[in-house]
Amino acid sequence: MAEKQMNKIVISLHAEWHGFSSEILWGEKMDEDIYRIDSIPFFANDISLDDIVKVRIDKDKRLQYEKTISKGNYCTYRFFFDEDIKSKERKKYLDLLREYGDTEYYEAKNLYALSVSKQKVHELYKILNQLETDEVLNFEEGDCIP
């Protein structure tokens, strides 16, 4: 069985987006300039885990995201907890959300990214919306076309 060839792919962001100009995601090489996204984006919009993307090589020999060729089976949400929510409560809510997908945590920004399959997205959205109404967390859709 051949080992996956993983490479870093640079995704350009709007300069004002969370103070970063780019985000680096892992991608599995499928063809010369075609990759499958193999990480959950924190800042990039319109891209999710398992999307198939086309890249180009920039002047610094880095892989630059060019466009999405086909969407995978996942949606991405980002959220952060209200500062009044204590660690023990956060764990309870994270356990609940992890029933719907995988999460990643970006400590410097106290930001979570959640990847959820499109089959579970409507149910998860209701939960996130209720948690936001209850002032537990704030969330946004990073990429969600169920």
pTM of the entire predicted model: 0.87
**What are the structure tokens assigned to 38, written together?**
């193999």
Give the C-alpha separation, 144 to 146, whole Å.
6
User: Given pLDDT bands bounded at 50, 70 and 90, which one contains residue 57?
Assistant: very high
Q: Which CATH number fits domain 74-143: 3.40.50.720, 3.40.50.300, 3.40.47.10, 3.30.70.2380?
A: 3.30.70.2380
Q: Give the pLDDT of residue 98.
A: 94
Please name the amino acid found at residue 27: G
CA-nearest of 144, 143, 85 to 110 is: 85
Q: Are the beta carbons of 39 and 25 closer than 8 angstroms? A: yes
* 56 Cβ neighbours under 8 A, 6+ residues apart: 33, 63, 64, 66
Give the C-alpha separation, 115 to 79, whole Å.
11
1-29 pLDDT, tens per residue?
Answer: 567 899 999 999 976 656 778 999 999 99
58-116 pLDDT, tens per residue?
Answer: 999 999 999 999 999 999 999 999 999 998 999 999 999 999 998 888 876 788 999 99
Residues of CATH 3.30.70.2380 domain(s) within the chain?
74-143
